[in-house]
Structure 1
Amino acid sequence: MHQQDQIALYRNGIIHSTADPYASAMLVENGHVAWVGGEEAASSLADSQMRVIDLEGGFIAPSFVDSHVHLTETGLGVEQVDLSTAASAQDMLAKVAAWADARPDAELILGRSWDHSWWQDITLPTAQELSNAAGGRVVVLDRVDLHSGLFSSAALQAAGIDSDEAWHAEDDYTAIRAAVLNFDAKKREYFQRQAIRQFHANGYTAAAQMGTDFGGGDTDYTAFAALVNDSELGFDLYGYKGHLITEEDQISSLQQQWGSALTGIGGDLCIDGSIGSGTALLRDPYAVSDQGPQNRGEQLLTETELETHLRLCTSAGVQTAFHVIGDGALEVLLNTLEKVEKATGLPAIQRCAHRIEHLEMATGEDIKRIARFGLVASMQPLFDHYWAADMYELRLGAERASLMNPVGQLLAEGVLVAFGSDTPVTHINGWDSIAAAMNLRNTNAQISARAGFKAHTMSGYRAVGESRPMAGMLVPGARADFAIWDADELTVQSSASRAAAWSTDVRSRTPLLPVLEKEGTRPKLRETFHAGRRVYQA
C-alpha cells in the first residue's frame, strides 16, 4: 500500500459521478472527494500543493462492493486443484493424482469447483479411489456450490467415519469438512488476507462476509474480527455471524463478543441447500435428481427455529440473513415472517431489512411479499451465467429454469437488490456480474448496466446498513473509494434484448459506463483506492 496523498488532482479522464456526468477531473483531499468537474476548472484549481495525475483517458468509477463472500474459502482456493473442467470420475482422479504427485510432501489434497451435473456418466469416485489417486493421503474435494463434497478414506477416518461412500452433502459434508480442515485462527487470517488481495486486484474495497459453521466457526470469525480492526487493511468488512438464535440473551452476548465485527446475525444460515446438489427445497419435485424421483430437496431449519430466531432478532433490531435457494425455502421463510409479524408488528421487521441470500426462485406474489417485509435480495448474477443453460434446466426442467433470478421484477417492485459473487463459488469480477444481469436467461428479468452497477456499489452499502449516506458514490464529501480502469468504449446501456431504458445521448446527464456486451472487452484495472490511498496497482 502507498501513503495517502493529502491532495491529489486526477484529470484528463472520465469520472463516473452523479454530481457531474460530464466530469473529467476529480480532486481528492484527506481521503475524500473534494470536487469533480471539467478540465478548465481543473486547470484553475491545480497548484504546487497538489499531486496532479494525468489519467490519459482513464475511467474512474466507485469501487465495487461484494455482498456475499467466504473469505477463508476464497483464499484457500489458491492452494487447491481446480476441478471445474473435470468431465468424469476418471478425469477427476487423474487431476487429483497429478496434483498429489507434484506435491509429495503435502499431507492434505484440496480440490474445488467440480460439477458432475453435465457429465455423460454422473457416477462419482469412491473414497478408496480418491485415496489411491492421492497415495493414501487426506483428500477433500468441494463441489462447486459448497453444499456437498467428496472425501478420501483417510479424510473420513480423520472425521471418525467408517465408510467408503465418498460423497456427502449438507450437515454431513459440513461436519466432516470442519473436522478435517481444522486450521487455527492465524492460518485462517492468512487465507482471508489472500482473498482481500484478490478483491483489491479486481477493483473492490468492501465485502460482506457470510459466516457459517461451514468450517471454522468461532475460530474463523476470530480471524475475521482481527481484519475488521486492522486500520491498514484498506478494505471495508461487514460480518454476519452464522449463529442460530434460540434465546434472547444470545444476541447481546454475540454483540459484546464481536463488537464492530458483527453487522448482523445469520449470513449463510441455511434454510435449504443447492440446486446442483439436489438439496434446495422446492415446491415441486426436481425434474432430475441424484436423490431419486419425487425429491423436493431438504429443509435444514425447522419453522420453530426460524420463528424464534427471526422474532428475537427483530425485537432486538438486529439484521439477520438466511440462505434461500429454492422456492419452497422462500415460502417457508415468508410464511414464518407472517407469524413473526403478529408478535413484533410489520414496521419492526421492515426496519431490520433482513436479507435473503442467493434469492433465485420467486413468483410475482413472492416478490410482493418480499417488498412488503422490506427484505434485501442478495443475488449472484453469475450463477445464471454459469448454470442457466445446463444445470438449471436439467434439475428443474425448461419452464422453471426460464424463470430464475428475477432481478428486474424485484427492482420494479422496489426491493433493494445487492450483487455479490459467493466467492469461491463464482469468480470475483464486478463487470462480469453486471454483464450477467444484463443477459439473464429470463429476458423479463434483465436490467440495464446502470441498474447493475448500482447493485454492485451503492446498494451493497445500503444492504449492510452503512451509515455513510454517500457510500458507493464519487460526489463531493464522499469518501474516495474508487478504481481507475482502461475501457475501450463508454456508453449508456440497457440490457440487449429490451428497448433502451436510458438514453445513449450524453445530454441525458446519465454517467457513462463501459460497454459490456462482448466477453473479452471488459475494462482493465490500473489501480484501486480506499479512502484516497492506493491499495492495488497493476
Structure 2
Amino acid sequence: MLKLAPPAAVLALALGALPVQAEPAADALFWGGPIHTGAQASPTAQAVAVKDGRIVFVGDRAGAEALRGEETQVVDLGGAALFPGFVDGHAHLRGIGERELTLNLEGSVSAAQAMERLAEHLKTAPAEGTVVGRGWIETGWPEGRFLNRQDLDAVAPDRPVLLIRADGHALVANSAALAAAGIDATTTAPEGGEILKDEDGAPTGMLIDNAMGLVAKLNTGPTEAQKLAAYRAAFAVETRYGWTGVHNMSVDFADVPLLEAMAAQGQAPMRVYNAVDLESAGPLLKSGPRPGSDGRIVTRAVKLYIDGALGSRGAALHEPYADAPHSRGMLVSDPAEVAKALARAKDAGVQVATHAIGDRGNTVVLDLYQDAFRDDPHAAGLARWRIEHAQIIRPGEIERFADQQVIASMQPSHAIGDLHFAPARLGMARLDGAYAWKSLEDAGALVVGGSDAPVERGDPLIEFYAAVARKDLKGFSAEGWRPEEALSRPAALALFTTAPAYAAFAEDELGTIEVGKRADFSAFSVDLMSAPVEEIPKGRAVLTVVDGQIVYDGR
C-alpha cells in the first residue's frame, strides 16, 4: 500500500515547532461599550479590531484580545456607544467654517437681539467693506416679521450690511447696501427672485432667492487663505460632533483642488463627497468624476436648484401659500435649461443632486429625471440621482421616488424647526406629504439623512432625535404634524450610515462595521438604540475615528 507523507502540522509537532502561524497583531482594538454594527446579520458586538485602516475582526472580546500585540492601541469606550461612522448627507462645509469665523446670528431670539449682535460685531470688524452675517430666522420672534432695512440702518447707517437668513435663500440689506447696488422702488426682480416692498413701494431690504444676486458684487468673496481657514474650522466642528464624512453641497469647483491638497497634506480629517454647483461645474462635466487618491476627497456630483425655501415662501407649490394666497413660490431655474444640464451630467457619468422643497418643485424634478432616462429606465438606478430636501411632496407622488429610483436626501431637523411655521404656510391638508420620511421608506425609496448645516446646527444627535421623535427639542409637536412619519431607531441609524454610503457609491467600503470595510466609527455618550428619546440630544460625541485613526477624542 502506498504510504502518504504526514501533514505539515504533524511534522511541525514532531520537530517541536508551532503548528499555526499567529495572526498579525491589530493596530487598534475598540471595546468597553455597546457596539452597534448596522449589519443585519450581527447587529451588535463586544469588540472591533482594526489593521491598516480596515476592520479585521468584529465579535466578542476574547476574539479581539487574541489580536492584541505589544504595540496594539487599546481604545476603551468607557461605556460610550460605538456606531458605524456617521455621515452628514447634506451640508455646506465651507459655510460651516464661515459661521465660526464671521458674524453668526444663529439663535437670535428677536430682531432686537440680532441687531445687538450686529452692533457688537461692528466694534471689532474692519472699518471698510461690506459687513456680512448669517443665521437669523424670524420664527418665534416677538416682532413676528422678517428683518428690514430700518432695523439695520439704526445700527449701521453708513456702510453696506448684508444679513443672510438661516436657509440661505433670502437676505436683508440695509439702505447703504441697496443704494450701492442700485436697488430702489423701480428695480425689477430677476426671474426666480423677489424684492419685497412696503406699502409705499419702497424696498424693505428683503431679497429672495435670485434677487440676492443683485447685491452679489458687494460681497467680494473669500480669499484662498480665508477659504483654508474656513475649511479648517469646519473640519474641527464636524469631527467634534462625531461626523466621519460629509456630502458637501453647492461646492465652488475652485475649492476642489484646495480640498484635495489639504487631504494630501494630512489636513482633511474626514471624508468629503463633493456636489459641485452647476455654475462652476464645467470642468467636472468635461472630465467626469474625481475619485481622489485615497477616497478622502471624492467629487462626482453636480448640484442644481429648482426652487427656494419654504420659510421665505420661495418653495414652488402647486397651490398658493395658505398664508400668502397671492403666491405659489417660484422656480429659480428654467426647467428647459435644467434638462440640458441633466443630459450633460448623464453623458459625463456625474451624479445629479437637485434642490427641491415645494410640492411643485419636486414634481418638476421628478418629471425632468424621468425624461432624462425615458429611453433607459434601468440606467436611473445606476446613476443614483438625488433630490435634496424633498420636503413637501404630493402623497400621490411619493411612490415615484421608488419607481424612478430617485434618492430622497432629507434633513430631519428641518421638520422640528419648520413645524413652527409650516402649518401656516401650507395649511393642514398639505402636511400629508410634508417631511414624509416613513412614507417614502414604506414606498421603497432610499432616504439619506443630513443636517443642511449651517442652515441648521449640524449635530448628528439632534438629527437622530428629530427622526425618531418628530418633536422639537422641548418636546413640542404642532397640530397635525403626522407623528406616524417618525422612524424606528434602526431606520434612523441607516439614514446616517448605510444610506449615505450608497448615495456616494461607497456601500462596499462604508456604512457598517464589518470585516473588510474601512474603519470609520462614531461613538456617543448616549446609546441611540436604547436611551430614552428625550435624552438623545443631550448627549455628545466621545470619539470620531476615520481609517482607524482617532480624529477627535472627547473622552
The TM-score range, normalised by the shorter chain, is 0.7 to 0.9
Helix, strand or coil: the match of 2:550? strand
Alignment correspondent of 2:33:
13
Structure 1 CA distance, aligned partners of 2:278 and 2:518? 32
Alignment correspondent of 2:197:
none
Deviation, structure 1 residue 225 = 4.5
CA distance 1:253–1:54, change in 2 (3 Å): closer
Segment of structure 1 superposing worse, 433-442 or 353-362: 433-442
Mapped contact 1:376–1:417 kept (Cα < 8 A): yes
Segment of structure 1 superposing worse, 346-355 or 331-340: 331-340
Structure 2 CA distance, aligned partners of 1:170 and 1:274? 8
Deviation, structure 1 residue 126 = 4.2
Bigger Rg over Cα: 2
1:72-95: CA deviations, max 9, x gaps? 211111134443444554443333
Alignment correspondent of 1:287:
322
Deviation, structure 1 residue 22 = 4.5
Mapped contact 1:67–1:208 kept (Cα < 8 A): yes
Please point out which of 365, 376, 379 is paired with 1:345: 376
Deviation, structure 1 residue 352 = 0.7
1:61-117: CA deviations, max 9, x gaps? 112101111112111111344434445544433332233235575855433222224
The letter of the residue matching 1:405 is Y
Mapped contact 2:34–2:46 kept (Cα < 8 A): yes
CA distance 1:125–1:22, change in 2 (3 Å): closer
CA distance 1:125–1:442, change in 2 (3 Å): closer
Structure 1 CA distance, aligned partners of 2:108 and 2:380? 45
Alignment correspondent of 1:497:
none
Mapped contact 1:69–1:208 kept (Cα < 8 A): yes
Alignment correspondent of 2:455:
425
1:68-79 matches, cutoff 5 A: 68-79=90-101
Structure 1 CA distance, aligned partners of 2:348 and 2:95? 31
1:468-527: CA deviations, max 9, x gaps? 51412111111111123333xx48xxxxxxxxxxxxxxxxxxxxx242511466433222
Please point out which of 274, 280, 302 is paired with 2:309: 274
Structure 2 CA distance, aligned partners of 1:63 and 1:171? 36
CA distance 1:72–1:39, change in 2 (3 Å): closer
Alignment correspondent of 2:276:
241
The letter of the residue matching 1:438 is V
Structure 2 CA distance, aligned partners of 1:476 and 1:258? 23
Consecutive unaligned residues of structure 2, counting only runs of 5 or more, are: 1-24, 186-202, 471-480
Is residue 298 of structure 1 aligned with residue 315 of structure 2?
no
Alignment correspondent of 1:518:
534
Is residue 191 of structure 1 aligned with residue 230 of structure 2?
yes
1:25-104 matches, cutoff 5 A: 25-86=47-108, 88-101=110-123, 103=125
Alignment correspondent of 1:455:
495
- TM-score where L is the length of structure 2: 0.82
Segment of structure 1 superposing worse, 255-264 or 229-238: 255-264
The letter of the residue matching 1:100 is L
Is residue 438 of structure 1 aligned with residue 472 of structure 2?
no
Please point out which of 351, 372, 383 is paired with 1:319: 351
Helix, strand or coil: the match of 1:528? strand
Deviation, structure 1 residue 135 = 5.7
Alignment correspondent of 1:495:
none
Mapped contact 1:263–1:319 kept (Cα < 8 A): no
1:129-180: CA deviations, max 9, x gaps? 5244036333221112110011223434554546764211111214524641
Structure 2 CA distance, aligned partners of 1:200 and 1:246? 28
Mapped contact 1:322–1:357 kept (Cα < 8 A): yes
Mapped contact 1:403–1:442 kept (Cα < 8 A): no
Mapped contact 1:438–1:447 kept (Cα < 8 A): yes
1:102-117 matches, cutoff 5 A: 103=125, 108-117=130-139
Mapped contact 1:140–1:177 kept (Cα < 8 A): no
Mapped contact 1:131–1:138 kept (Cα < 8 A): no
The letter of the residue matching 2:466 is A
**Count of aligned residue pairs for this structure pair:** 499
* RMSD between superposed Cα atoms in Å: 3.0
1:244-278: CA deviations, max 9, x gaps? 6999x9822565899986633432x2100011111
Deviation, structure 1 residue 378 = 0.4
Is residue 170 of structure 1 aligned with residue 209 of structure 2?
yes
Deviation, structure 1 residue 198 = 0.7
Deviation, structure 1 residue 41 = 3.0
Alignment correspondent of 1:508:
none
1:443-469: CA deviations, max 9, x gaps? 232111111111101211111212x51
The letter of the residue matching 1:30 is D
1:377-422: CA deviations, max 9, x gaps? 100000011121x210121112323541111111112211111111
Is residue 251 of structure 1 aligned with residue 285 of structure 2?
yes
CA distance 1:428–1:337, change in 2 (3 Å): closer
Mapped contact 1:207–1:237 kept (Cα < 8 A): yes
Alignment correspondent of 2:3:
none
- TM-score where L is the length of structure 1: 0.84
Deviation, structure 1 residue 127 = 3.3
1:447-486 matches, cutoff 5 A: 447-466=487-506, 469-486=508-525
Segment of structure 1 superposing worse, 116-125 or 74-83: 116-125
Mapped contact 1:314–1:348 kept (Cα < 8 A): no
Mapped contact 2:136–2:165 kept (Cα < 8 A): yes
Structure 2 CA distance, aligned partners of 1:370 and 1:516? 32
Helix, strand or coil: the match of 1:190? helix
CA distance 1:515–1:206, change in 2 (3 Å): same
Helix, strand or coil: the match of 1:67? strand
Identity level (%): 27
1:356-505 matches, cutoff 5 A: 356-388=387-419, 390-401=420-431, 403-440=433-470, 441-466=481-506, 469-487=508-526, 490=527
CA distance 1:349–1:175, change in 2 (3 Å): farther
Structure 1 CA distance, aligned partners of 2:231 and 2:425? 33
Consecutive unaligned residues of structure 1, counting only runs of 5 or more, are: 492-512
CA distance 1:43–1:250, change in 2 (3 Å): closer
